[in-house]
Structures are given as structure tokens and as C-alpha cells.
Structure 1
């Protein structure tokens, strides 16, 4: 067995530590790339929660929320919170499952599954959805949300006719 001088052991130990640190940093960077941005996590949590104000709070004061499938846009935090409250009153177990999120500057494209059970419908639904989130300069609040999914598919999966409309409140 050959003995190494203490200096060689110190150099090898430092090199091994650098390698572990570099690998750990690389893994952390890969995990960060796979993890959706914080605002997306908060957005999904707000949709999956029961407090409509939590969704509205994610937006700037003049933010907009457009549901392209229904063809309606809400302006400001209160209207957006009202939209979440209306969705909760019409759909049991509203749930958004984020599959991927891609950020390009102040825009995030979210690939998700939108699911729930329309009240009075024979079956639940789960449809693919793409959401475009535009953020303020700081990236802290949403200025615009555009949800894209197929209302026809929601109704078909739910076992409802294509001309079904929600009851008035």
C-alpha cells in the first residue's frame, strides 16, 4: 500500500468536495428548471383551494382573466375572485394539475389538466388546458391570464348536451 503525502490527500479531498458541490448545484438547477415558477404554483393552489380571494390576490389591481372557452373576461381582483366563486358554485372539486410551465420573459405558458364535476352532470370531466400568464415587471403579480380549453369536451365528458348552459345565479 502506497502512502500519499498529506498535501495530496488535501488536494484530492478539495477536488472531491468541488465535484460534489458542482453536482449538487447542477441537480438543484435541473430541479429548478423542472419546477414551475412560484406564481404558477400559487395560481394552481388558488384554483384548487376554496378561498376565491386567493386567486384575485395574485393579480395586479388592473389585471384581467379571460376564459376563452366561455368567452368572458374579468377585470380587477374582485371580478377575478368572483369568477372563482362562480366556478366553485357550478363545479364540484375544481382542480388544476400543472403538467409543465415554460417562462419566456414576463410570459409563462402553463400546460395543465382542468378537472371537476359540473353540478347536476352525470360524470366528471378532465380536459387539457393551456394558460398564458403575463406578469408585471417584477414577476410578482399576474397582469393577464388567458385560459384555453375545449368547452365542448368538458360538456361531452360530463354527459351534457352541447347547448347546455349553467343555471343563472
Structure 2
């Protein structure tokens, strides 16, 4: 797969759609713990194999103070529960269930676990963030947005 080049410049062609995705994510993240916000975006991006978003969210998480150890082990978070709070684990379980719908619908136990750690409004926002990041992943994977050059604070999304 090496040497892939960008197929299409979606932000230039449909800037209104791009802005709508930006607004969705900005609205959804209000009031969410910034650590949870970055962890779930990174985990969904890992599952979706979105190199651009993995690069972006790992760098943003580091810039926000996230530890290297937690970032390196995020893909195996269930194996190292002592590194993540119960709330983070509930958010990560929900992330995986929402992202991998081909395994079936979001199980009641996963949803109830998240609902135990997030208030109703916060849970609704978390679900909004998961919808947004899965949209971003599909946007970047489909267009083959180039990965590796993102710098934290550079921009909200590929422009």
C-alpha cells in the first residue's frame, strides 16, 4: 500500500460538507473530558486504519499531555486496565462497539457501562464525537489524505 497519493481534495470540492463535519465535532465535544475526547478519536482511527487521523490524534494527545505508554497500549487497553480509568475504559468499549457495527449492534452491556460513567448529556456528546470521528476516518481513508505531516495546532482537520 506504500506510496499512496491523495485521490481527491474533498475540502476544496465540498467545503460546506467539510465545515459541517467540523461543526459536528465542535458541538459534540463541548463538556467532554479532553483526555477521553482524544483517546476515543485515536482508538476509532486505529480500528478504521486511518493513518492521517492516527497521526493527528496521537500528536494532539501528546500535545495535551497524554503519556507515551498509554498511547502505545491503546490498541490493547483491555489488557492493561490499570492504565485507564473506568470511565475511559467505558468510553473505549463504546468506541469499539459504535465503530465496528459489522459485529452487530451496540450491545446493551456496553451501552449501560458507558451510561454508568457518563451523564445523559455527556453520553450523548460522546456518541456525537464517535459519529464525527468515524465520518472523518471515512473521509480521509476514501480520499487518501496524506499522513505524517500534521502538527498539533496546525488546523482542526485537513483543509
TM-score (norm 1): 0.24
Which structure's residues are more often strand, by fraction? 1
**Structure with greater proportional helix content:** 2
Structure with bigger RCO (C-alpha 8 Å, 6+ apart): 2
